[in-house]
Structure 1
Amino acid sequence: MQTHFSPRLLADSDMSQSETILRACVHCGFCTATCPTYLLTGDELDSPRGRIYLIKEMLENDRPADARTVRHVDRCLSCLSCMTTCPSSVHYMHLVDHARAHIEKTYRRPPLERLLRAALAFTLTRPALFRQSLRAAALARPFARLLPLRFAALFDMAPARLPPPSPVDRPQVFAAKAPRRMRVALLSGCAQTVLDTRIHEATVRLLTRLGAEVVVVKGAGCCGALPHHLGRTDESHALARKNIEAWTREVESSGLDRIVIDASGCGTTVKDYGHMFRDDAALAQDAAHVASLARDVTEVVAELGLAPQIDVGALRVAYHSACSLQHGQKIADLPMELLRRAGFDVAAVPESHICCGSAGTYNLLQPELATQLRARKIANIETLAPRAVAAGNLGCMMQIGQGTSIPILHTIELIDWACGGPRPAALQG
């Protein structure tokens, strides 16, 4: 793609990088074949290629975002399926992240929308506040139908019952239960510590059983992904900075071999910390080192080696490949391989490259499109007639779980069970 950025604009690191990304695009349109929103709307501007044109025109002319550009960029899930498809290796993720930051700085949204986005960024990243907000939302759910769909979706997503806080999410060290082969930090994160405590618990049980010492590091928390994808870079960088500093202290004091992440959306962001802080002279080196240590939990399980201990009866499992795992981290087959080695009968969900509609806060901000994508995903899952669904990201689990009675579990819960952990509660009976 031909570009005409001025030297003044190219002096900015983000602009320079975006110009390089834009130049890599050859307009081939391969991305349109795998873009979920284009699949639903048929609108070229709801495809990566269409959004690239809008973003180029906005950035190249250094103008404030307009309503049309905002509408179509907001509709992007950041599923990154286009990056998997693109033959020219266009790094769409960094381009759309830059566009969202520019929109946040230059576009004045309607008051209610500003309030909603600010509330999500502030609340979801603070577990104690998030827990209280969910309790309030559950009480107010009977009145939610009086609200517009976008706001009613907030109440629909609130679970009727929350698990109590888990002791594994407090700063501490879990000793390896086999000869120690690795020392790892577990990202406790934010929303997952409120919505589903079983995932971290299964991760700690499994990794310690396989020979890893697991530490929950004091000072580490939300990875920053939620505000980052809302264009609120100051907030996302502040959260990421705390993690980098906390993990760096741990590396320097006691050492870390890996940073383990069992929420794939968080993993994609932590693995990008080096890029996010590339221009920060004080933090760039530490950020790059932290990113180099980051691994999805399935990657660490594969390093340690599986040790199945029980017969799970070839339970039929449909594997849903979270976009942040298959497209963001390029981990597609490994979770299925581990599940098969653990004794499960695993089938990939048809149209596995198409997003389920969760995408962080997307199902709250774009409920109409998200609901259509969920229905399509569930229809594909049900063709497999599975006994359970496995996924590597809590957002996907909640999104899919809202529309089906099939039990949906984190991949690590199933592997932990096969390796001697408790049978998941969702499969009891």
Structure 2
Amino acid sequence: MTPEDLLVEADRCVKCGLCLTVCPTYRLLASEADSPRGRISLIQALAKNEIDLHSHAELHLDRCLNCRACEAACPSGVKYGSLLDASRASITLEHRKKPLLKQLLHQLSHNDRLNNWIRLYHMARKSGSLALIRKLPVKRFRQLLAMAEQLPRTPVNRTGFYPSTKPTGKKVQLFTGCIGSKIDDKLVQNAIQLLSGLGYAVDIPASTGCCGAMHRHNGFIREAGQQCDAIRGQTGRSNAQNLITLATACHLELAEQQASRLPLISMSDFLLQLPDREMPELAPLPIRAALHRPCSSRDSTDWQILNKIPQLELVELAENELCCGAAGSYLLTQPEISNQLGEIKLNHLKASGAKILITSSTGCAMQFRQQIRQAGLDIDVHHPIELIHQQWHRAGVATEQPVSSA
């Protein structure tokens, strides 16, 4: 988006305020500068050189979750997310901001580097160094360490080719992402086993990495574009039927950037499109589960696939239209606001009486797990596909097989 395009899009905002009630930061902070229309005013003023970054404009722009709830409420159809991304990119380019965040994202978005950090983290944990680091008066460090508790005990790498258990000749490519490929390793294994059992060979190319969303939303447009280009090249060389995603944020980024040469589909949608005769048999699960809808996916797909599980009592988490505070890297860059929003969601979860929290977002799952652990609650957090896989095996129609590539 050029500076001229940015101003044209920003001018479409009539400042009506219908976005205020759905904006998490405005509701929390009660500050006009932390509302969508307030931030658009700041973006306009920055673009026209009427104010500079030292006027706290960057602070208020950084506080935005980019949840885009305001877009759904906007009668003018303002593309707020694109405005924010373009403005952050301009700030980062012109002022060379956030070098530490850029380096952190660089480490997190490459599987080999992330595996090295997993090794280093557990070495520091065994040596007692983490106890010293936790005493540092820097909330972002403490938040990063809290999230690191969810990393696997050993580095994992699921890239490779996984043959089907049936001679169907069908093949799909599975997009596992960067952080999700480590934290959600059980989910990745479950997806491979499900697809293989349904007659689909699964390909996870060694070059599989980050979708670019975290870079794009923090203003690092060039790096985000490079990651999308790599995925285009990778999928363009494949003869697979689909590129299947697991995390909603990755799916949204790949879809909006048209980063896949293969037809893009989420794992839940893939299962829903199967003929009834091919849908795996699922055992009953008589338990109450609360569904959290991520900002990156407001549709009913998760609800529909979970309703395939007999006796599952599924309830919507209250205020599902509001962000949980994870928002990609936001839980690291704005830990105080992120935690406050997470606590609100936790209270809704406790009020629901659910024994399971279900969400299809890696970031949201991390946020809920941390909040649940801090509160000392006994509530499990699952991806919808994990529950589908669990009940598939409990139905006795599948044999658990270790996941190892061919």
Question: TM-score normalized by structure 1?
Answer: 0.82
Tell whether 2:208 aligns with 1:220.
yes
| Paired-residue identity, % | 28
**Residue 216 to residue 160, structure 1, CA distance change in 2 (3 Å):** closer
Contact 2:118/2:154 (8 A) holds in 1 = no
**Residue 172 to residue 34, structure 1, CA distance change in 2 (3 Å):** same
Give the secondary-structure state (helix, strand or coil) at the position aligned to 1:318: strand
Deviation at 1:31, TM superposition (A): 1.0
Equivalent residue for 1:341, pick from 298, 302, 308: 308
Alpha-carbon separation, structure 1, partners of 2:314 and 2:294:
16
Tell whether 2:381 aligns with 1:408.
yes
Give the secondary-structure state (helix, strand or coil) at the position aligned to 1:186: strand
Equivalent residue for 2:136, pick from 116, 124, 146: 146
**Residue 355 to residue 305, structure 1, CA distance change in 2 (3 Å):** farther
**Residue 85 to residue 422, structure 1, CA distance change in 2 (3 Å):** farther
Superposed, 1:255-404 pairs within 5 Å as 256-274=240-258, 287=259, 290=261, 293-305=263-275, 307-326=279-298, 332-343=299-310, 344-404=312-372
Deviation at 1:136, TM superposition (A): 3.4
Deviation at 1:62, TM superposition (A): 9.1
Give the secondary-structure state (helix, strand or coil) at the position aligned to 2:243: strand
1:203 maps to a residue whose letter is: A
Aligned length: 382
Question: Is 210-219 or 220-229 further displaced after alignment?
Answer: 210-219
**Residue 409 to residue 53, structure 1, CA distance change in 2 (3 Å):** same
Contact 1:141/1:156 (8 A) holds in 2 = no
1:119-178 alpha-carbon deviations (Å, 9 max, x no partner): 3211111223223324434523312122321222111211176244456x2132432648
Alpha-carbon separation, structure 1, partners of 2:165 and 2:202:
7
Give the secondary-structure state (helix, strand or coil) at the position aligned to 2:148: coil
1:409 maps to a residue whose letter is: H
Question: Is 99-108 or 40-49 further displaced after alignment?
Answer: 99-108
Deviation at 1:374, TM superposition (A): 0.6
Contact 1:65/1:107 (8 A) holds in 2 = no
**Residue 159 to residue 61, structure 1, CA distance change in 2 (3 Å):** same
Gaps of at least 5 residues in structure 2 are 401-406
Alpha-carbon separation, structure 1, partners of 2:162 and 2:51:
50
**Residue 381 to residue 62, structure 1, CA distance change in 2 (3 Å):** same
Deviation at 1:305, TM superposition (A): 4.6
Alpha-carbon separation, structure 2, partners of 1:305 and 1:201:
23
Contact 1:222/1:239 (8 A) holds in 2 = yes
Contact 2:208/2:231 (8 A) holds in 1 = yes
| Structure 2 match to 1:7 | none
Alpha-carbon separation, structure 2, partners of 1:257 and 1:234:
29
**Residue 305 to residue 316, structure 1, CA distance change in 2 (3 Å):** farther
**Residue 115 to residue 186, structure 1, CA distance change in 2 (3 Å):** same
**Residue 198 to residue 52, structure 1, CA distance change in 2 (3 Å):** same
Give the secondary-structure state (helix, strand or coil) at the position aligned to 1:238: helix
| Structure 1 match to 2:392 | 419
**Residue 302 to residue 44, structure 1, CA distance change in 2 (3 Å):** same
Gaps of at least 5 residues in structure 1 are 1-12, 275-286, 327-331, 424-429
Tell whether 2:19 aligns with 1:31.
yes
Equivalent residue for 2:65, pick from 77, 91, 112: 77
Alpha-carbon separation, structure 2, partners of 1:85 and 1:365:
26
Give the secondary-structure state (helix, strand or coil) at the position aligned to 1:323: coil
Contact 1:319/1:346 (8 A) holds in 2 = yes
1:391-410 alpha-carbon deviations (Å, 9 max, x no partner): 10111111110121310011
Give the secondary-structure state (helix, strand or coil) at the position aligned to 1:321: coil
1:364-390 alpha-carbon deviations (Å, 9 max, x no partner): 100000000110001001111112111
**Residue 371 to residue 61, structure 1, CA distance change in 2 (3 Å):** same
**Residue 28 to residue 380, structure 1, CA distance change in 2 (3 Å):** same
Deviation at 1:117, TM superposition (A): 0.6
Tell whether 2:174 aligns with 1:204.
no
Alpha-carbon separation, structure 2, partners of 1:230 and 1:342:
39
Contact 1:174/1:204 (8 A) holds in 2 = no
Contact 1:207/1:301 (8 A) holds in 2 = no
| Structure 1 match to 2:180 | 192
Question: Is 337-346 or 393-402 further displaced after alignment?
Answer: 337-346
CA RMSD in angstroms, aligned pairs only: 2.4
